[in-house]
Structure 1
Amino acid sequence: MVEFAMHNAWLVPLLPAIAFLIIVFLTRPWQRLSSLVCIAGMVGAFVFAALAAYGVFTNEEFTKHSMVYATRWFSMPGLHIDFGIQLDPTSAMMMFMVSMVSTLIFIYATGYMEGDPGYSTFFAYVSLFGASMLGLVLSSNLLQMFIFWELVGLCSYLLIGFFTHKVSAREAAKKAFVTCRIADFCLLLGLLSIQIVFGTLDMVKLAEIIPNFRAYTSEGILVMIAVLVFIGPVGKSGQFPLHVWLPDAMEGPTPVSALIHAATMVVAGVYLVGRTMFLFEQVPSVMELVAFTGAFTALFAASIALTQREIKRILAYSTVSQLGYMVLALGVGSLSASMFHLWTHAFFKALMFMGAGSVLHALHHKADVWEMGGLLKKMPITGWTFVVGGVAIAGIPPFAGFWSKDEILAVTLDSGHTLLFLMAALTAFMTAFYMWRLIFLAFFGAEKPENHPHESPWNMTLPLVVLAGLATVGGLMGTPWKNYWGEWIFFSGSHIHAHHGEPNYMVMIGSVVLALCGIGLAYRLYLADSEKATAKELARRFSGLHALSYNKFYVDELYLWINHNLVDGAAKVFYLFDLFIVDGFINALGAITKLAGDGFRIFQTGRMQNYVLIFFLGVLVIAIVMAFSNPSSAGLILGGVK
């Protein structure tokens, strides 16, 4: 069975794709049946993914070579495109994680979306979403990956704007779509450049060719290609300055937020950079760009999350920050650390988004954490599982986030980038602070009498319990005391630098101290009612900094100003140019020329008698003019007539 699953891993994305078609064309009138078809498709994908992943993890050959199953899709002189699947530790880990987390989210959605008129449509969309992401992670060449990359973007657009009656949802969907199109255009240019320069988009072949790129092109061209390729993940994975769409993506239903932030769209960008590390490692300057982009994004987003009030918005900026961690790890050359954090992040971030959805479901979509309080008593399953997620993301051992975050800190320190390490460490402190600020405000403290919360139904709480368990133990496979056994399973397909040797106990102890300090400060400022006044007083005392953070450093406003003034202003200039120059002056010249042609055409009849008449009239006019201008000449003429 394992061999069958490995040789037929193409069924993993196919099953949810078939579920999408069944819902659209057959079961859409029956809501429950549609959700069952959706879940069945993803459960089938998970079973195949688990069996195939087991085969990959237990076969040492996969530590040296990838297994590619491909068939010719398109061929012409100079261009051959194969479509297929590529199995190795990284793709096996991704398809296992995506299918497992998606299955839990789909089960959760049956409770969250109950009663919605678009229930069947929603499950059709999420089936296509899951199929697109699974197709992306298994793609054997970059063109195939780009096709699924765009399908993922399409699904995000449909799901972020799912509540079409809400203007904010429609605008958020357009914002996500347009922002990602900017990045995807640059990615497409990069892929076209790779095809032109190297003659293939097959990733196995490119991994062999690009290390000898000087036989094909110059380093400057390779730098340009690497930057263009990186811009795609900057948009898709919400890195600065194209991060602005990701927090607004919370306008979609909460299961969509969990899918986008944990298992599908945003991790696609990190995965693409990891998949093409054979390109980036050849250009150290671009690796520096990747590392600093990730570190700045992590710190920047964390500083925004400090002051946000809406529960899902806090989690959204947390996702941007954690993605920055993953990109930082890639920039310092550690694919293993980046993929490890992607693995653990999927568990605790899906858990917290779904926990937030449970809270919103109970409070009738009241989202301000300052208006919550005491929810732990009325919603114990949601509350305690959310606490597990908070401990995991803060980096407290033995929870999952501790191992993966410390791996990133360790490889960053080993790389010699002290500034990047300090930025990552400060981000760790801020992460613990803002996440436990949310937990203390929402789940602890005094209850709000106007709220009447209740625990969510079993189909919403069961996935929370499972994810809480994964957030607890999901990082143990990467513990250094297991000699990086987890790295060997998931990430050994890369020959990029990874952190080896003895564990860095100073980094471990330091990160735990930072996390505890962050949690302690949040406890001091936000748990007791008397201290909440202190927090508000601090916000008033540092109102300028607070306003910068709360208003997201006015990046959205800057983009709006650029759009309204520069883009719209340029459009007005071009409009006036078209109106007065093209439609006015140029068209006037054409009209004058046409009018002159029409006038001269009167004299060009083609008849001899008309030409003789015109000749005679011309002579007569000349004679008259000469006569009146010279009287003597007139007398001679008149005498001649006599």
Structure 2
Amino acid sequence: MSSLFLTVLFPLLGFIILVIGRERFSENLSAWVGVGAIGLSFLTTIWVGVNFVNQGQIDFTQHLWTWFSVAGLAPSISFHLDGLSLLMMGMITGVGFLIHVFASWYMRGEAGYARFFSYFNLFVASMLVLVLADNLALLFLGWEGVGLCSYLLIGFYYHNPANGFAAIKAFTVTRVGDVFLLIALFLLYQQFGTLNIATILAHAQQVLAYVPHETAFWISVMLFLGAAGKSAQIPLQTWLADAMAGPTPVSALIHAATMVTAGIYLICRMHGIFELTPEVLQGIAIIGAVTLIVAGCAALVQTDIKRILAYSTMSQLGYMFMAVGAEAYQAGLFHMLAHAFFKALLFLSSGAVILACHHEQNIFKMGGLRKKIPFVFACFVIGGGALAAMPWITVGFFSKDAILGQVYAQGLMQQLPIYQQLYWVGVVGAFLTSIYTFRLILVVFFGQEKTHAHALHGITYWLPLAILLALSTTLGAALKHPVETLLTTAHIPALNIPLALEQQIIHAEHQAVWIALIGVLVAGMVWIVFKQPLEKWTQSWLGQRIITLFYAAFGFDALYQLLFVRPYQLIAKLLGHDPIDQVWLILPVLVKSGHHAASTRQTGSLREYTSSIAFAAVILLMVLIAIQII
């Protein structure tokens, strides 16, 4: 396991080589370096994982060097391997490698080919630093690294100003969450005197028991807000849909295996802090539930194929937050892994559709594609089925329904109606997911062809999709038990459900499945049988208002524009001429005025000079007399 550091070193070296070579490298050489670096990182992860299991799954920490030392704070560059970090490493490097392979095909002919892969490699390296860090200072370095890379990749097509604005928006909104995370780090260091994660978790209960409860409360809240920024949860969710401005492989990497999973990882890694504040956990579950409904409604009316998938990502992240808020950490983490498989499949498949349709992204300008690109159609059916948790054959069925069942169980075990209510919110979310997913499939692959599509070829195109397709089926579900074993060794608790409640939980899960299937039926009826009445309703006054509301994702962007952006712009305008500087300019004005007044008195007239002296003498005499009298 001494080779653990190589998992980070390989993509970092790939980034450095590509930055140095940049314009001098051919596309083939850039692809070999970029894809090869992640491939080597993935192979190292497998090697490290096999050794970890063979040696009894004992935690391992690799100290490289001390980062800095200031007044007792001396965080190290040290990587910690346990079941949770191994799961994250496997997901990041494995799915990331497949996305890199696909990107080598997708980005052919694009300007900045080497630049693209340099950013891609740095992104993976930063994410690996985040999940392997043994202290929160190093974790924060990786946290900021993925934020920087997201800005570079979302704004990759920087010649279009709209893409630049989308990158700035993503960077700014996630930075708000980063500020909250930084506050949490300050509070933790104040209480524990260290940022070492293992030390904090080992002493959390003892240390925080002797301080006011508000301290633990605010630490948990700040950690959650930091996680919400990266994982696009209300109120910091507005950046995610606009992140579609980047190339499609970027969307797959950000929204499947890397950046958006950072928030889930942070909460699960620091679960010992959150469990001291059950009210915060309930709040996390509620916010996750609200986010999944808001995102589900928004996805119903989008016309851009990538924005539909973006809102579905936000919705699935809501399920994960609902799970960890209900202390079903293992269920949330397994859904995170399953989501990485089927969402990467859907995003890469959407990229194939976009290329086949000559960069068209409006689903209503496609249609009839199942005959032109049947393999991509199969990928969408399996990936969409996993997203909608179609029973028995998709990985989403085994992950999402487990979340709903455990949330329902938590309500029964703790006698808290809020969790049972959240279960029903999750069921409604599953219903919406089925509708918008199969709406997408029906509109794009059935009906009349509106844009001529050409066939797609190349092993770097179909092989990543084929592997992800297989992992999105029950083959991916076979990983559930190994994942649970890994997480148990990492001290990530499982939700223990009493045998007496098992039948109720199974009934609740089956109920969610049937409602999801009804959603598929509704999608078919609405977009095939009742297509004409639907079009008439959308043109009505009520229909237009509802669609506008859903399309704008309930107007959070407009609200933030009103509350934050416009006041900031007004203040910037008022301060544009620097009023402080203007105040200091009074001094030269006074000097200049005095100089002007004095210079105008230089007339050369003896009479004026004599009268002035006499007048001044009289004034001076009067002042002296007044002083004597006083």
TM value normalised by structure 2 = 0.89
Asked if 2 retains the 8 angstrom alpha-carbon contact of 1:403 and 1:478, the reply is no
Distance across 2 between alignment mates of 1:597 and 1:311: 71
Q: What are the superposed Cα offsets for residues 274-315 of structure 1, whole Å, 9 maximum, x if unpaired? A: 111111111112112211111111111111101111100000
Asked if 2 retains the 8 angstrom alpha-carbon contact of 1:101 and 1:350, the reply is yes
Distance across 1 between alignment mates of 2:230 and 2:74: 28
Q: By how many angstroms is 1:192 displaced?
A: 1.8
Return closer, same or farther for 1:573/1:377 CA change in 2, 3 Å cut-off.
Answer: same
Asked if 2 retains the 8 angstrom alpha-carbon contact of 1:344 and 1:474, the reply is no
Q: By how many angstroms is 1:31 displaced?
A: 1.8
Return closer, same or farther for 1:620/1:339 CA change in 2, 3 Å cut-off.
Answer: closer
The aligned residue for residue 489 of structure 1 is: 486
Return closer, same or farther for 1:53/1:118 CA change in 2, 3 Å cut-off.
Answer: same
**Percent identity at matched positions?**
37
Q: By how many angstroms is 1:538 displaced?
A: 3.4
The one of 428, 431, 434 equivalent to 1:432 is: 434
Q: By how many angstroms is 1:507 displaced?
A: 2.3
Q: What are the superposed Cα offsets for residues 528-558 of structure 1, whole Å, 9 maximum, x if unpaired? A: 3x53223223323433212210222222122
Q: What are the superposed Cα offsets for residues 338-358 of structure 1, whole Å, 9 maximum, x if unpaired? A: 110110000000000000000
The aligned residue for residue 443 of structure 1 is: 445
The aligned residue for residue 32 of structure 1 is: 28
Distance across 1 between alignment mates of 2:442 and 2:567: 44
The aligned residue for residue 299 of structure 2 is: 305
Structure 2 stretches lacking a partner, 5+ long: 412-418, 599-609, 624-630
Structure 1 residue 170 corresponds to structure 2 residue 164: yes
Structure 1 residue 51 corresponds to structure 2 residue 52: no
Q: By how many angstroms is 1:491 displaced?
A: 4.5
Q: By how many angstroms is 1:26 displaced?
A: 3.6
Distance across 1 between alignment mates of 2:220 and 2:588: 49
Q: By how many angstroms is 1:373 displaced?
A: 1.2
Structure 1 residue 498 corresponds to structure 2 residue 498: no
Q: Residues 245-260 of structure 1: matches in 2 within 5 Å?
A: 245-260=239-254
Distance across 2 between alignment mates of 1:582 and 1:125: 41
Q: Residues 331-346 of structure 1: matches in 2 within 5 Å?
A: 331-346=325-340
Structure 1 residue 407 corresponds to structure 2 residue 406: no
Q: By how many angstroms is 1:575 displaced?
A: 5.8
Q: By how many angstroms is 1:150 displaced?
A: 0.7
Range with bigger deviation, 588-597 or 502-511: 588-597
Distance across 1 between alignment mates of 2:268 and 2:311: 22
The one of 116, 129, 140 equivalent to 2:123 is: 129
Q: Secondary structure at the match of 1:164?
A: coil
Return closer, same or farther for 1:209/1:474 CA change in 2, 3 Å cut-off.
Answer: farther
Q: Secondary structure at the match of 1:68?
A: strand
Matched AA of 2:105: G
Q: Residues 83-482 of structure 1: matches in 2 within 5 Å?
A: 83-214=77-208, 217-398=211-392, 399-416=394-411, 417-448=419-450, 450-477=451-478
Return closer, same or farther for 1:72/1:366 CA change in 2, 3 Å cut-off.
Answer: same
Return closer, same or farther for 1:242/1:625 CA change in 2, 3 Å cut-off.
Answer: closer
Matched AA of 1:68: T
Q: Residues 622-633 of structure 1: matches in 2 within 5 Å?
A: none
Range with bigger deviation, 470-479 or 459-468: 470-479
Q: Secondary structure at the match of 2:530?
A: helix
Matched AA of 1:165: H
Q: By how many angstroms is 1:197 displaced?
A: 1.9
Return closer, same or farther for 1:552/1:107 CA change in 2, 3 Å cut-off.
Answer: same
Return closer, same or farther for 1:597/1:207 CA change in 2, 3 Å cut-off.
Answer: farther
Return closer, same or farther for 1:352/1:618 CA change in 2, 3 Å cut-off.
Answer: closer
Return closer, same or farther for 1:152/1:625 CA change in 2, 3 Å cut-off.
Answer: closer
The aligned residue for residue 20 of structure 1 is: 15
Q: By how many angstroms is 1:184 displaced?
A: 0.8
Asked if 2 retains the 8 angstrom alpha-carbon contact of 1:375 and 1:453, the reply is no
Return closer, same or farther for 1:82/1:617 CA change in 2, 3 Å cut-off.
Answer: same
The aligned residue for residue 618 of structure 2 is: 621
The aligned residue for residue 604 of structure 1 is: none
Distance across 2 between alignment mates of 1:623 and 1:229: 72
Return closer, same or farther for 1:265/1:214 CA change in 2, 3 Å cut-off.
Answer: closer
Return closer, same or farther for 1:9/1:347 CA change in 2, 3 Å cut-off.
Answer: same
The aligned residue for residue 68 of structure 1 is: 61
Return closer, same or farther for 1:114/1:590 CA change in 2, 3 Å cut-off.
Answer: closer
Matched AA of 1:507: A
Asked if 1 retains the 8 angstrom alpha-carbon contact of 2:96 and 2:124, the reply is yes
Q: What are the superposed Cα offsets for residues 206-253 of structure 1, whole Å, 9 maximum, x if unpaired? A: 111111123663221221122112111111111112111111111101
Distance across 2 between alignment mates of 1:48 and 1:582: 58
Return closer, same or farther for 1:179/1:625 CA change in 2, 3 Å cut-off.
Answer: closer
Return closer, same or farther for 1:622/1:207 CA change in 2, 3 Å cut-off.
Answer: closer
Distance across 2 between alignment mates of 1:386 and 1:464: 10
The aligned residue for residue 520 of structure 1 is: 521
Return closer, same or farther for 1:109/1:361 CA change in 2, 3 Å cut-off.
Answer: same
Asked if 1 retains the 8 angstrom alpha-carbon contact of 2:358 and 2:453, the reply is no
Distance across 1 between alignment mates of 2:55 and 2:435: 42
Asked if 2 retains the 8 angstrom alpha-carbon contact of 1:137 and 1:145, the reply is yes
Q: Which has the larger radius of gyration?
A: 1
Matched AA of 1:533: Q
Distance across 1 between alignment mates of 2:586 and 2:17: 60
Return closer, same or farther for 1:515/1:213 CA change in 2, 3 Å cut-off.
Answer: same
Matched AA of 1:621: V
Range with bigger deviation, 42-51 or 586-595: 586-595
The aligned residue for residue 629 of structure 1 is: none
Q: By how many angstroms is 1:77 displaced?
A: 4.1
Q: What are the superposed Cα offsets for residues 341-395 of structure 1, whole Å, 9 maximum, x if unpaired? A: 1100000000000000000001011111112111111101111011100111111
Q: By how many angstroms is 1:51 displaced?
A: 2.2
Return closer, same or farther for 1:230/1:474 CA change in 2, 3 Å cut-off.
Answer: farther
Q: Secondary structure at the match of 1:243?
A: coil
Q: What are the superposed Cα offsets for residues 79-122 of structure 1, whole Å, 9 maximum, x if unpaired? A: 22122111111110110111111111111011110111211111
